[in-house]
Structure 1
Amino acid sequence: MTLTAVANEIMERLPGWRAEVIHGQLLISPLRDASHACALTNLLVRFAAGGLHGTDTDVLQNVGLWLPTGAEDYAIPDLVIVDADIDDHLVENNCYAPACFRLVLEVTSSYRTTDLLIKVSAYAAATIPVYVIVDREQRRLHVLTAPVGDEYTDHRVHAPGEVVSLPESIGTEVSLDVDEILKG
């Protein structure tokens, strides 16, 4: 049985749980809590208010991202900003080619090292232009840009009280208030 088949079986048997294959490893994440959902909703509302949903781009949750790091590798980011023609980029297993992803965002949960280490190299290798991490435990917002190889050359960490401007490459100019994002 392939890792993809095992991952799909896990998600079928455990609704709400997430199974991903990154660097040839099966990663399982439990059902998210209300604080996690609140952070995602705040971001989704902010991105939609900024005009990023429904025109040239869409703001989506839990969309499969096919990764170039292994034969079966894929991730399911919490939130993404993608080109509106995402359906033209379907690879397999409900995962889409990295070329249509403008931003990938993760809100940390109990396995925060996955978001802060493992996914950084995978998303950089996929040349995702902007990777945002909402670190609820450390109360920080990480913005990673300029992927080269399997790393991002620009990694900025922002604290509560700061307002962060995201690169216009996501589709428009959007600023995030770190306090607003971290509340919930």
Structure 2
Amino acid sequence: MTLQERISVSTAPEPYRVTQRDYKLLDESGAFVRYAKTELIEGKIVAVNAQHAPHIRVQSTLFRALADACDAIADGPKAWIDGSIDLAEFSMPQPDIFIADTLPDKGAVPLSTVRLMIEIADTSLRNDLNVKTPLYANAGIAEYWVVDVEGRVIHQMWGPVAERYAERRTVAFGERIEAATVAGLTVNTGIL
């Protein structure tokens, strides 16, 4: 049903779900210039919180460790920061860190190349656990980590089933974390 058909059928106001195509057009037109970062989550354009020192410190340190760990895996994937992921028609998130097999020459990162998504939660823990977990699981992201900066733990999830992950564990800062779905990817979280 088109938007015009829906408007003529409905008498109550309804929010309009933005598609990836709409989101890209808005971005290209400069609509988000005054925002540091936006994401498309289930048809809603979300302005992402500012990143403060604790978030930046953890993101940068973890990224460097993951990049080194990926480089140590022969023909392995690579670590990246803040890329737009082509998740679904109504979602294009920008995880803080992600592990992917390749990057395209242009456009968003294809979902099929993503092996692991990581969100750094300084002020966004509730959103990362309650909104992004089912979103990523439903899309089939094999593994998802939420780094709880204040709690000093990493919530590691894998084995997506519908809108949840079948497997979970919590790794305290200071312990080693081993990716469940990327063979050989291990990081010492004592650096965080």
**TM-score with structure 2 setting the length:** 0.77
Cα distance in structure 1, aligned partners of 2:94 and 2:32: 12
Q: Does 1:83 align with 2:104?
A: no
Cα distance in structure 2, aligned partners of 1:114 and 1:10: 24
Q: Does 1:158 align with 2:171?
A: yes
Cα distance in structure 2, aligned partners of 1:116 and 1:18: 20
Cα distance in structure 1, aligned partners of 2:26 and 2:149: 26
**Match of 2:104, as an amino acid?**
D
What is aligned with 2:189?
178
Cα distance in structure 1, aligned partners of 2:170 and 2:76: 29
Deviates more, 1:108-117 or 1:47-56: 47-56
Cα distance in structure 1, aligned partners of 2:31 and 2:96: 18
Change (3 A) 1:175 1:57: closer
The answer to whether the Cα contact below 8 Å between 1:21 and 1:72 also exists between their aligned partners in 2 is yes
User: What's the Cα RMSD here?
Assistant: 2.5
**Match of 1:61, as an amino acid?**
I
Match of 1:37 among 56, 62, 71: 56
Match of 2:160 among 147, 151, 155: 147
Encode CA deviations 1:24-46: one digit per residue, 9 max, x unaligned: 22222122112212212211221
Q: CA deviation at 1:67?
A: 2.1
Deviates more, 1:131-140 or 1:53-62: 53-62
- Structure 1 unmatched ranges of 5 or more: none
For this pair of structures, how many residues does the alignment match?
170
What is aligned with 1:62?
82
Higher share in strand: 1
What is aligned with 1:127?
140
Cα distance in structure 1, aligned partners of 2:70 and 2:46: 33
The answer to whether the Cα contact below 8 Å between 1:140 and 1:178 also exists between their aligned partners in 2 is no
Cα distance in structure 1, aligned partners of 2:71 and 2:146: 19
Q: CA deviation at 1:56?
A: 4.0
**Match of 1:75, as an amino acid?**
P
What is aligned with 2:32?
11
**Match of 1:120, as an amino acid?**
T
Identity of aligned residues (%): 22
**TM-score with structure 1 setting the length:** 0.80
Cα distance in structure 2, aligned partners of 1:96 and 1:173: 23
The answer to whether the Cα contact below 8 Å between 1:7 and 1:20 also exists between their aligned partners in 2 is no
Encode CA deviations 1:116-140: one digit per residue, 9 max, x unaligned: 1101011111111111111012221
**Match of 2:100, as an amino acid?**
V
Q: CA deviation at 1:11?
A: 3.3
